[in-house]
Amino acid sequence: MPIRDLSANKGEWAELYVLFRLLGDGRLYAADKQLNKKLDSYLDVLNIIREEVEGHLTCYSREGAQGMVEILVDDRLIVSISASEFLIQANGLFRYLEQQRSRAFLVPEQIADFSSRAQIYKAKSPSVRNTMGFGGKSDIVIKLRDARNSLVSTMGFSIKSQFGSPATLFNASMSSKIEFELPGMTVEQALEFNLLFDEHGRRNWAGCIDYLSNHGIRPRFSRIPCETFEDNLVMIRDSMPSILAWLYRESMLIDRECRSIPVLCKRLQQQNPLCFSRTDTYDKAVKDFLFDSFSGMTAARRWDGQEQVNGGYIVVKPDGEVLCYHSNDREEFRDYLFRNTHLEYVDCKKFKWSFAYQRDGKTFVEVDASVRFNSVPR
């Protein structure tokens, strides 16, 4: 499908913007833990590799004539375009994306025409990761030279943008549920609990939390119903199911106002439910979960513990600046994830959770796990 006929959302068009911006700038700066540019830390962009047409690799190279981007398909030169043109198109695309409010939309003719000339036929081109051995979460594959040591390497990066809706880090699914027992809840109370809806017919989860509190019902972790999800969490560490369950119990069943990962982890350290001798173990465990979620771990698919992004994470800031967290700066990136994510309340009807049920004479409820980036970085 020609790109002029492609309808995509802001996040998908952001990947095209990153392609234009990096080819135009020729440089990818690192970010600090507050997502500020580190002027003394950057990578030179040598080329970007995509699979625009299935089975054929397209290379956008800055290694030829100075100030030019040579576009090669299967190592055959097709066209050369000045880097400044890519920069102009990047600026135009960003201004257009800022104005869009629709869920999905087309790009202007000028962007579509330029993309066709540059042999670009997709907003995003992820299939190259399979061709070259990059992991399942790489959105862009780049050949880079480290300005500090001149080391050249080809790496896959995940791309997230901040000018659309905040991206999810760990996606809710039918497999990502956590089960809690509701000790002492009677059958009659379970029926009352299940009938709590608001005036619009939506599940009144705030009312559900108040109901539990008013009736002195203190939820406790029961199990991870999906065996694959539980196995993946144990792959991180044996205590990860209990730690994650504590976070969701506190946020989803006790204090509905608390979603912040750092705030929840501070409470977790203070209460120390697993009696660790070092309470900072909780922060490390949660950072491991967040990083592994970024790197490819999901609830539904068996995970082998291997990272699926070998380069790092590219973020598009609200002002259009493109920065990265490199795999060499792992601790800064882990800290960024920790400081800038929250537990997300997801749709009860869509993911089929929030209702009490009976098993073996006891009452249980499930909540669905999801983690999303904050709208404003900290």
One pLDDT digit (tens) per residue for the chain, 378 residues:
678 889 999 989 999 999 999 999 999 999 988 889 999 999 999 999 998 888 889 999 999 888 999 999 999 999 999 999 999 999 999 999 999 988 899 999 999 999 999 999 998 875 444 445 444 567 899 999 988 889 999 988 888 888 767 888 999 999 999 999 999 999 999 999 999 999 988 999 999 999 999 999 999 999 999 999 999 999 999 999 999 999 999 999 999 889 999 999 999 999 999 999 999 999 999 999 999 998 889 999 999 887 766 778 899 998 999 999 887 778 888 998 999 999 999 999 899 899 999 999 999 999 999 999 988 666
> Concatenated DSSP letters for 270-307?
HH-TT--SSTHHHHHHHHHHHHHHHTT--SSS---S--
Closest CA to 297 of 368, 238, 234: 234
Number of domains observed in the structure of the chain: 2
Same domain for 348 and 203: yes
Closest CA to 330 of 312, 314, 316, 315: 312
SS3 108: coil
Paired sense of beta strands 140-146 and 76-82, if any: unpaired
Same domain for 21 and 109: yes
The dihedral region occupied by 51, where left means phi > 0, alpha psi between -120 and 50, and beta the remainder, is beta
Show which of 161, 188, 206 is a domain's final residue.
161
Sign of the Cα torsion 263, 265, 266, 272 reads: positive
Closest CA to 248 of 329, 75, 86, 366: 366
The rounded distance, in Å, linking the Cα atoms of 287 and 243 is 12
Same domain for 173 and 154: no
Q: Is residue 313 part of a domain?
A: no
Enclosing H/E stretch for 130: helix 128-132
Q: Is residue 228 part of a domain?
A: yes
**Cβ partners under 8 Å of residue 114, min gap 6:** 85, 89
Per the structure, the complete domain to which residue 60 belongs is given by: 3-161
The rounded distance, in Å, linking the Cα atoms of 138 and 125 is 10
Cβ distance 170 to 359 under 8 Å?
no
Q: Report pLDDT for 160.
A: 84
Token digits of residue 374: 């904050």
pTM for the model: 0.83
Cβ distance 155 to 1 under 8 Å?
no
Q: Report pLDDT for 294.
A: 85
Q: Report pLDDT for 54.
A: 84
Show which of 161, 184, 219 is a domain's final residue.
161
Same domain for 144 and 37: yes
Q: Report pLDDT for 129.
A: 46
SS3 4: helix
Show which of 161, 183, 218 is a domain's final residue.
161
Q: Report pLDDT for 330.
A: 80
